[in-house]
Amino acid sequence: MAPTEYVDRPVPTISLEDFDDRIDAITKELVNAAENVGFFCVIDHGISYESVDRIFDQSARFFSQDDNVKAQVPFSPQHNAGWEKNSQVRPSTGVADRKESYQMQFGEGMNGRWLADEALPGFREEALSFMQQAQSVSEKLMICFARGLGFENDYFVSAHDVSRPESQTVCRLLHYFETPELPNPTGEVYHRAGAHADWDLLTLLFQKAGQSGLEICPGRELSTSFGYGDAWTKIEPDVQKNAIVCNVGDLLMSWSDDRFKSTFHRVKAPCEPGDYYGERYSIAFFNQPCRDAQIQGPLKKYPLITGEEFTRDAMSRNFKSLKEKLQNKEEVKSREASSIAVMSQLSTMA
């Protein structure tokens, strides 16, 4: 396999210090990052190291439960909540990511999808308290992006109100398994998170020191397109400063009439010297719109739709693209099979 092509692209680190007084300067930096890279890191965001450590401890505690315990809260695609393992297939790879994840929400989508408190005492309370903190940081960013697009300050905040039962915002705990470092004879690729763009407004990604692997591939012009290039850039957040990696999702790309970029990213399948092969934990906080939010950009490039419709369309686009990928794979396989048959005929004829 050809080595991965890497390029250096600047991924800005933006301080949220003195937010109220510096809001215009911060907005300028965020808008610039969203227009040019789609990824940026925020520091001085108000979430302490201890809070981040605590939620990672809770995440390890959750994933260390037996599979049949976790299976009591199975992932529901309809609600986008619950636990899944080795089952998310990305259109970019056509095979399941090697990981497990647990998606939690504030709203009705989470009904019946928390483990009983006796199974994991204190977990739900700790998780919700962390989610509230991630929501507060998200709201600061939403205010800046609303200002950057000429909307009222609270425009995105009220469309993502997590106190409403219609909230669809998701906090996803992720656990990637250790990857065998030996060359594998089958050539199988152990995808961690295959290349994809997120569908939400804005994602906050919490990474653990020493557990690298997140990479980006900018260059997408439309929020509905799937193609991506070949050159990747490693995301290396400043862990000393407790940086949160943030990325624009398809929703903000579409809501900004494609001005802000939702960038393809992946957690690399480790396969080259220097890659991290160990067990990996991360946490993604996806700001999803309330089901009844009204979505349309200032230039009205796309028709007005609701949060529920946007999510449904994103899922069906994903599904269609996955079907095409699997069909192509089948065609390649059958072409390979027939050329092998022709070749073996030729060799028997020779």
Q: Which residues bind ligand AKG (CB under 6 A)?
A: 172, 174, 193, 198, 205, 207, 214, 265, 267, 282, 284
* Token digits of residue 196: 């994809």
Comparing CB distances to ligand AKG, the nearer of 113 and 147 is 113
Q: What is the distance, to the nearest Å, from the Cα of residue 337 to the centroid of all Cα atoms in its chain?
A: 36
| Least distance CB 247 / Fe ion (angstroms) | 7
Radius of gyration of the chain (CA): 21
Q: Is 97 in the site for Fe ion (CB under 5 A)?
A: no
Question: Which residue type occupies 239?
Answer: V
Q: Are 47 and 133 in contact (CB under 8 A)?
A: yes
| Least distance CB 173 / ligand AKG (angstroms) | 10
Full DSSP string of 209-243: TT---EEEE----STT-----SEEEE----GGGT-
Comparing CB distances to ligand AKG, the nearer of 131 and 205 is 205
| Least distance CB 232 / ligand AKG (angstroms) | 14
Q: Are 267 and 213 in contact (CB under 8 A)?
A: yes
Comparing CB distances to ligand AKG, the nearer of 34 and 143 is 34
What is the signed CA dihedral for 38, 221, 253, 212, rounded to 10 degrees? -30
Nearest-10 crossing angle of helices 23-36, 123-149: 90
| Least distance CB 200 / Fe ion (angstroms) | 9
282 makes contact, choosing from ligand AKG, Fe ion, none, with CB < 5 to 8 Å by partner type, with ligand AKG
174 makes contact, choosing from ligand AKG, Fe ion, none, with CB < 5 to 8 Å by partner type, with ligand AKG
Comparing CB distances to ligand AKG, the nearer of 143 and 251 is 251
- Strand 5-6 relative to strand 231-234, pairing: parallel
Distance between CA atoms of residues 192 and 164, nearest Å: 33
Comparing CB distances to ligand AKG, the nearer of 205 and 290 is 205
Closest-CB residue for ligand AKG? 282
Q: Which of 84, 97, 198, 258 binds Fe ion (CB under 5 A)?
A: 198
Distance between CA atoms of residues 301 and 230, nearest Å: 29
Long-range CB pairs of 335-338 (<8 Å, 24+ gap) are none
Length of the chain: 350
Comparing CB distances to ligand AKG, the nearer of 148 and 286 is 286
| Least distance CB 345 / Fe ion (angstroms) | 47
* Token digits of residue 254: 């579409």
Contact region for Fe ion (CB under 5 A) — 136-144, 156-164, 193-201, 253-261? 193-201
Comparing CB distances to ligand AKG, the nearer of 148 and 223 is 223
| Least distance CB 198 / Fe ion (angstroms) | 4
| Least distance CB 266 / Fe ion (angstroms) | 8
Which of 147, 111, 119, 134 lies closest to 55 in space, CA to CA? 134
Footprint on this chain of Fe ion (rule: CB under 5 A): 198
